[in-house]
Amino acid sequence: MLKLGGFAVSNYYNKVKVALLEKGIAFEEAFCMTSQDEAFLKRSPMGKVPYLEIDGQFLCESQVICEYLEDRYPEKPLYPKHALERARVRELIGIMELYMDMVARRVYAQAFFGGTVSDEIKKQVEQDLAKGVRAFKQLAKFSPFVAGANLSYADCAAGVHLPLVSLSTKIVYGRDALEDCAPVKPYLKMLNERPAFKKMNDERKAASEAMAAARAKKG
Ligand SMILES: N[C@@H](CCC(=O)N[C@@H](CS)C(=O)NCC(=O)O)C(=O)O
């Protein structure tokens, strides 16, 4: 049985989790937080989540894990058939992760964890994120899925990254960086009507509430 390591509040963990659910692959969840401890680095060399345990071996990086899932479980594909269309799915994922989530992530400490971020970083993030959002708007199809007619790994990524980019920028800048991209809201609503996305999101919300309660208890 595959074991997915990480926690249900992590967007990268949830990207893989929703792909597993959509593909109907049996898996167990192995709760763990990120860590730089020697023992954890044996599972995930960068100390990040998620990782996937496969017969006692460990694989890290969410996109690499998705590629493995597609190769190993080709039934119910989450990539289109043709090479260029497959590349388009990866292109969208790259834009969302490298130029949107990874950029907005620099203000997540302030948005979600009670930290503060310097004005300089906020300004830089705002500028860089505008380029990522522009590229996303240029490439996203919403017809009805983000890369075209069929559900793909780009939707697994969009369904977990876009809400975080929206929420974090709304909190930090008072303006949702995706507010000019009108199809995003109905698209996310449509995704969340799918049982796999609903399950992932229900479990994310429960885990997030539990984490907030534990933090409040700690003081
Ligand atoms: N490129 C990685 C990103 C994973 C990632 O950054 N995960 C976050 C949790 S959402 C994490 O582990 N952060 C801890 C750290 O960066 O040390 C992937 O796609 O798996």
Distance 32 CA to ligand 1 centre (A): 13
Q: What is the pLDDT of residue 57?
A: 98
Q: How far is it, in rounded angstroms, from Cα 13 to Cα 44?
A: 13
76 — phi, psi (to 5°)? Answer: 55, 70
Q: Which atom of ligand 1 is nearest to the CA of 44?
A: 12
Distance 179 CA to ligand 1 centre (A): 26
**Contact by Cβ (8 Å): 196, 21:** yes
CATH architecture of 2-72: 3-Layer(aba) Sandwich (3.40)
Q: What is the pLDDT of residue 24?
A: 98
Q: Give domain limits for the chain.
A: 2-72, 83-218
Q: What is the pLDDT of residue 215?
A: 82
DSSP state of 145: B
Report the amino acid identity of residue 162.
L
Q: What is the pLDDT of residue 217?
A: 86
Instruction: Going residue by residue through the chain, which has 219 residues, state the pLDDT in tens, using 9 for 90 and above.
Output: 999 999 999 999 999 999 999 999 999 999 999 999 999 999 999 999 999 999 999 999 999 999 999 999 999 999 999 999 999 999 999 999 999 999 999 999 999 988 999 999 999 999 999 999 999 999 999 999 999 999 999 999 999 999 999 999 999 999 999 999 999 999 999 999 999 999 999 999 999 999 889 888 887
Report the amino acid identity of residue 133.
V
Give DSSP secondary structure letters for 125-144.
Answer: HHHHHHHHHHHHHHH---SS
Distance 12 CA to ligand 1 centre (A): 7
Is CATH 3.40.366.10 correct for 83-218?
no
Q: What is the pLDDT of residue 168?
A: 98
Pairing of strands 27-31, 57-60: unpaired
